């Protein structure tokens, strides 16, 4: 894991994880003290998840992905089964209107996070068996059906944001397989129509779109979160108001330790701090792309592309939501936002990326 070629990637990940623990502690201190009478409630749990995540990352960095390839299909179907089981009342835990978790109390597991990794491995195996994509029916129908199956099950929870991240990651993988662009024009058109139908069919999704266009139309309802996020970013200026000095975490921005934690970071550390944090994210993406390009095995290369695309798309969408460029989706900021499943799965995926790098440099 600590080979010279992986050191930059590993240190960047550890920097993000440590920053996440600190920011979860800062952003959640007031809310945690009010709700649990313990200002370090969320921070202590994030630290536990980080330690577990480090163990997962180390173990995954030792996995032989060529051996794991043999189990790509069973792993995919097992994760599909988990997505079905989580929808059953009594098995799946419902929070904030979504039935997306297994577990109890604060320790919950989100099967959709594991499905993202499983489908990347499954489709990487499928694409690697073909020299290049020639026809949709022969080369892309199975990946499309698998992706739509997963997207549909995730949508039933409902977890629209995770579904979109998963679909976009698969699209990047298929593009890397030298697929004709006209396939994506056709599928993209059908996808846009379907997406429009999904938005119209669910009032809360439509409310998110209208609040994105004009959050001041409903400043105390659907537009409240994005308005408070912008109110947090604005005072940050160049250098920020100082660590742990945020005003918006004082019951203005709802649950600031989750999806909108970057707004608190921007308030406390300003433009310079945000630029440094984004630079670390970009460094991870750069290292991931470099690993994918230098990998001589098509299967490992596709897995690396899928994993780094999953990370990059999630970062891009979360930051876009926080600054008002995208509608609210409920997507966490990798390594920074509070959340056990997302943190450990993302660290596990980085472990797989390190495994690919190690196998390529041996």
For 241-266, the DSSP string reads S-TT--STTTTTSSSTTSTTHHHHHH
User: Does residue 137 surpass a pLDDT of 70?
Assistant: no
| Paired strand residues for 101 | 93
List b or e across 236-267, with b for residues whose CB sees 16 or more CB atoms inside 10 angstroms.
beeebbeeeebebbeeebebbbbbbbbbbbbb
Mean pLDDT for 197-225 is 68
pTM of the model: 0.90
Let me know: does 176 contact 305? Beta carbons within 8 Å: yes
Contacts of 361 (CB under 8 A, 6+ apart): 3, 5
pLDDT tens, position by position, 43-63: 999 999 999 999 999 999 999
pLDDT tens, position by position, 176-206: 877 766 666 666 666 666 666 666 666 666 6
The pLDDT > 70 percentage for the chain reads 83
Mean pLDDT for 96-117 is 77
Q: For residues 255 and 42, what is the distance between their CA atoms, to the nearest angstrom?
A: 11
Let me know: does 62 contact 69? Beta carbons within 8 Å: no
**Residue 95 gets which letter from DSSP?**
E
* pLDDT for the residue 223: 76
Give the full edge-to-edge strand order of the sheet including 107-109. 93-95, 98-104, 107-109
Let me know the angle formed at the C-alpha of 230 by 226 and 232, rounded to the nearest 5 degrees. 115
pLDDT band at residue 157 under the 50/70/90 scheme: confident
pLDDT tens, position by position, 274-283: 999 999 999 9
């Amino acid at each position: 894991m600590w080979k010279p070629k992986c050191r930059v990637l590993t240190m960047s990940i550890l920097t993000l994880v440590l920053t996440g623990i600190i920011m979860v502690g800062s952003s959640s201190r007031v809310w945690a003290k009010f709700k649990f009478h313990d200002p370090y409630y969320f921070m202590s749990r994030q630290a536990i998840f980080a330690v577990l995540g480090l163990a997962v990352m180390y173990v995954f960095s030792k996995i032989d992905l060529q051996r794991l390839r043999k189990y790509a299909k069973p792993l995919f179907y097992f994760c599909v089964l988990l997505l079905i089981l989580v929808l059953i009342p009594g098995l799946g835990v419902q929070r904030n209107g979504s039935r997306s978790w297994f577990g109890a109390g604060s320790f919950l597991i989100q099967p959709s996070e594991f499905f993202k990794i499983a489908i990347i491995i499954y489709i990487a195996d499928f694409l690697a068996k073909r020299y290049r994509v020639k026809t949709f029916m022969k080369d892309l129908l199975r990946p499309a059906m698998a992706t739509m199956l997963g997207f549909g099950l995730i949508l039933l929870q409902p977890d629209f944001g995770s579904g979109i991240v998963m679909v976009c990651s698969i699209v990047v993988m298929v593009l890397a397989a030298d697929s004709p662009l006209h396939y994506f024009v056709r599928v993209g058109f059908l996808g846009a129509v379907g997406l429009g139908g999904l938005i119209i069919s669910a009032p809360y999704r439509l409310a998110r779109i209208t609040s994105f266009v004009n959050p001041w139309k409903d400043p105390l309802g659907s537009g409240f979160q994005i308005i408070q996020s912008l109110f947090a970013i604005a005072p940050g200026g160049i250098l920020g108001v100082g660590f742990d000095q945020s005003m918006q975490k004082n019951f203005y921005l709802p649950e600031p330790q989750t999806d909108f934690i970057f707004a608190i970071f921007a308030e406390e550390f300003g433009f310079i701090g945000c630029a440094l944090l984004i630079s670390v994210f970009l460094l991870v993406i750069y290292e991931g792309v470099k690993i994918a390009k230098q990998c001589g095995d098509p299967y490992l290369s596709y897995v690396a592309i899928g994993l780094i695309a999953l990370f990059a798309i999630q970062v891009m969408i979360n930051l876009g939501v926080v600054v008002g460029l995208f509608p609210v989706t409920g997507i966490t900021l990798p390594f920074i936002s509070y959340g056990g499943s997302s943190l450990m799965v993302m660290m596990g995926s980085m472990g797989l990326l390190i495994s690919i790098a190690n196998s390529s440099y041996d």
